[in-house]
Amino acid sequence: MKMVENKESIEKEIIKAARKVFISKGYEGARIREIATEAGVNFSLVNYHYQSKDNLFAIVFDDIFDKILNKLSSILGDDTPIFDKIRQVVSLYIDTLLEDKDIPVFIISELARNPERLKKQILSKHLSQDVFTTLSNQIKSETEAGVIKDVNPVNLFLNIASLCIFPILARPVAESIFSLNDEQYEFFLKSRKKEVADFIISSIKTPHNRKEEITEYININ
Amino acid sequence: MKMVENKESIEKEIIKAARKVFISKGYEGARIREIATEAGVNFSLVNYHYQSKDNLFAIVFDDIFDKILNKLSSILGDDTPIFDKIRQVVSLYIDTLLEDKDIPVFIISELARNPERLKKQILSKHLSQDVFTTLSNQIKSETEAGVIKDVNPVNLFLNIASLCIFPILARPVAESIFSLNDEQYEFFLKSRKKEVADFIISSIKTPHNRKEEITEYININ
DNA sequence: CTTTGTCTTGAACATTTGTTTAATACATCT
DNA sequence: AGATGTATTAAACAAATGTTCAAGACAAAG
């Protein structure tokens, strides 16, 4: 019984390579031979360790998707006040996405290709619904406390996600339209963090808070 | 010389089928044989009329992309006041996208797979830069006229696009998280039109306009 | 009717690709 | 050292796929 010292390291290497190739080429475009080359192993080894392309893809995708959901729930789950939470989410979202710019397209494409996988994953973990429920409850109580307006949680959730994720999905178009290179665009997105948070927060502020603004405004003018 | 009456109709049929298959499966996932079946023709005919898969794809993609750019520029190009323009853009964008829900993913995926095509297309038409320039100029003049704040055009442009397009890209995830079916989600997106426009407009309103709000607010309370 | 040029069809081809198999290497245990 | 079971490699396979080719169909022109 061979206990090769680097069996796990080889499997990790294959996973790492698979991750890279699947993310950049998608499921259909990825080639097992390319993954093997990228991992520096004989291409039969990929199927030896992971049985099939489909299975390997599932492992890679589930891992990526799980990490995203966990990150999201860890931010949304705690009991930080809503405005701070929004700033945190926006900041962390944009930073995280910029670290791995191709993941959003990868996720979106794969979920379009195979929406069934999502149902299994979401249903089996009950995770993201909980995330949303937590946020909804917080909105309810902060509304009752008079901190924010009576906003639709779905709209709020979607707005935050849209403003953070879309600019990364649309990077190629955006760079062309705005005549920016990768570096400039990335810099711009980072600078956008404050703007997006302000944008969201100002849209949900309750008239009570606005009253303060108004007092301020009247005093100044 | 055979002048078959339905030559153009067959070519149109192939294009229509190609459009459908490419959009739902992507370039890599699409099969020429499937396109032929969908069009109801012998599969050799596809290559006879369109030479290669790559060429057929280019025709389909360019057509779709051109139409989007034209639609966009026709709205942004005219001299409607900025607030009306925003309402128009949001409304038309959401309506158009709902008609063909799979196009956004198709575009995003393809541009990630092959960003070079975009450069050729944008550079050859000078279209979308013009669109953006027009909008920028309008923002400038409306800022000087005191209608809106001194907003960054890139941010404004991205915010509008994000809020309209992302919810459609993320439909599978959104429906799972929010526990909505296709019909419910579509209804929700339509109802979102006003919210999104209000959201954007309120964020760029100049303090002058806010003064009116304030007067209103004081009178009421 | 024959010719001509285009359209259509079915078969064939070369390549690619995921998967399987058989042989070999090799570490560990007896 | 020999047996055992796992890891690795190279070869082979079958299915799929984009493309090409040769033969036939068919309408229009001569």
pLDDT tops 70 at residue B123? no
* pLDDT the model gives residue B157: 93
Q: Tell which residue, A3, A138, A19, A12, has the closest CA to residue A67.
A: A19
Task: Answer for the pair A117, A61: CB distance below 8 angstroms, yes or no.
Answer: yes
- Alpha-helix runs per DSSP H in chain A: 7-29, 32-39, 43-50, 53-77, 82-99, 103-113, 115-125, 127-144, 153-169, 171-178, 182-204, 207-220
Mean pLDDT score of chain A, rounded to an integer?
A: 87
Give residue A139's Cα distance to chain centre.
21
d(CA A6, CA B69): 53
Alpha carbon A73 to its chain's center: 11
Are B159 and A154 a contacting pair at CB < 8 A?
no
Q: How confident is the model at residue A69 (pLDDT cuts 50, 70, 90)?
A: confident
Task: Give the closest-approach CA distance of A40 to chain B in angstroms.
Answer: 24
Summarised one tens digit per residue, pLDDT across range A130-182 is: 778 888 999 999 999 988 999 999 999 999 999 999 999 999 999 988 989 99
Q: Cβ–Cβ contacts within 10 Å for residue A126, how many?
A: 10
- CA B189 vs. chain centroid, Å, equals 15
Side chain identity, residue A200: I
Q: In the predicted model, what is the mean pLDDT of residues A118-127?
A: 70
List chain A residues with CB under 8 Å of B179.
Answer: 129
Mean pLDDT of A15-24: 97
Answer yes or no: do B173 and A29 touch at CB < 8 A. Answer: no
Above 60 in pLDDT, residue A81? Answer: yes
pLDDT at residue A129 tops 80: no
| Bases of chain D within 7 A of a CB of the protein | 4-11, 16-22, 25-29
Whether the predicted model's global pTM rises above the 0.85 cut: yes
Q: What percent of chain A has pLDDT over 70?
A: 86
Nearest by CB to A166, from B112, B113, B165: name it.
B165
If you average pLDDT over residues B43-53, what whole number do you get? 96
- Does the beta-carbon distance from A162 to B158 stay under 8 Å? no
A10: number of CA atoms within 13 Å, CB side?
A: 18
Q: How confident is the model at residue B72 (pLDDT cuts 50, 70, 90)?
A: confident
pLDDT at B130: 74
Q: Is the confidence at residue A37, as pLDDT, over 70?
A: yes
Closest listed residue to residue B35, CA positions, set B3, B4, B64, B59 = B59
pLDDT digits (tens, 9 = 90+) for A89-112: 999 889 999 999 999 999 999 999
pLDDT value at A5 more than 60: no
